Every structure is written in C-alpha cells, then in structure tokens.
Amino acid sequence: MSEKRIAKELVRIARDLVSNDPRVAGRNEVADTEGEYKNFTGIIKWGKSNGKVKNATFKLKNDGILWLDGTWENGTWKSGAWKKGTWKNGTWKNGWWYNGTWYDGTWEDGAWIDGTWDDGTWLDGTWENGTWEDGYWEDGEWKNGTWENGYILVNNKFEKSITPPESS
C-alpha cells in the first residue's frame, strides 16, 4: 500500500473517531437521538429505556424503540417493539416482543408474540406463542406455545412444572 493511500485511510479513520453522529456504528457510544441506528454497540438512552447493546440495529421513535436485530446485553426496556434479536439480561417493563431469543432477565409486563425463552423470571403479561425452555413464571396469561421446562408460582412457592401455566 502506498504512503498516500495509508495517509488517506488514517484521515478517514480520524474523521470517524471524532464524528458526532451517533447513528453510525463506532462513532459515538450513546444512542439518544431519534432515528435509525445500524450495527450500533454502546448505550441506548431513550425515554425511560436505558441499556447496553451490541451489534444492534434499531430505530428510536416517539413511541419507544423499534428493535430490528442485535443483542441487548443489559438494562431496562420501557416501551416499543422487538422484532428479532437476542436479549441477554435486564428488565423488560412493557412493549411487544415479536420474535427473538431471551436468555435471562425479568419480564414485568407486555405481550410476547413468538420466540424462545431460555431462562429468567416472568412476572406478568400475555404469552401468545413460542417456546418456553426454562425459567420462573409468576403470573400472566398463557395463550399458546410449547412449555419444555420451568417453575410456576403456586401458593407463593415456585414448583417444577411440565405443563404451561393455566390461562387467566
């Protein structure tokens, strides 16, 4: 590679490092401006949602976050819609989960449309469909899906169950 080409590449890298546009991956570590983010790694601060994400593609909108793909590492989700991706840990306050894999964390309320629940604690909400692999179910409405393993709260004690929770 020629010295001229190396110099141009170094200038391009320097511009990327000092850019203030957070919607471009690697240019700013905080997503707090309305718009679309692609392959973003850093922190989302939007409304009452705050979380650490990795390789994420999403839109910050007036009514919440529209999650398109990527990994939610940890934090609190307040509102919006989850299309697909991986949830590693954190607290889900409310919103619509359309598809993806949930590995751990606490689900407080919202609607689960489809996906795979690997582990965690379900406090309340509506389960439409999907696969429950393991975890703790406290309350909510179970409509349909596959229950593989887990614990259901019965008389204030979690008990092992091989059947899904009864619908409310």
Q: 107-135 pLDDT, tens per residue?
A: 999 999 999 999 999 999 999 999 999 99
Would residue 50 count as lying in a domain? yes
Would residue 95 count as lying in a domain? yes
**What pLDDT score was predicted for residue 153?**
94
| C-beta of residue 40 within 8 angstroms of C-beta of residue 67 | no
**What pLDDT score was predicted for residue 53?**
95
**What pLDDT score was predicted for residue 5?**
79
**What pLDDT score was predicted for residue 152?**
96
Would residue 22 count as lying in a domain? no
- Domain holding 118, by residue range, is 31-160
Would residue 46 count as lying in a domain? yes
**What pLDDT score was predicted for residue 16?**
59
Count the domains in the chain.
Answer: 1
Would residue 130 count as lying in a domain? yes
Task: Tell me if residue 167 falls in helix, strand or coil.
Answer: coil
Would residue 117 count as lying in a domain? yes
**What pLDDT score was predicted for residue 168?**
56
* Cα angle value 112/58/21 (rounded, 5°): 160
Q: Which residues contact 28 (CB under 8 A, 6 or more apart)?
A: 19, 20, 21, 22, 42
Question: Which residues pair with residue 61 across a beta bridge?
Answer: 64
Would residue 165 count as lying in a domain? no
**Low-confidence residues of the chain, pLDDT below 70?**
12-28, 168
Would residue 8 count as lying in a domain? no
Q: Give φ, ψ of 141 to 5 degrees.
A: -110, 120
Q: Tokens 């905080």, residue?
A: 30
Q: Which residues contact 32 (CB under 8 A, 6 or more apart)?
A: 22, 44, 45, 46, 60
- What pTM does this model have? 0.80
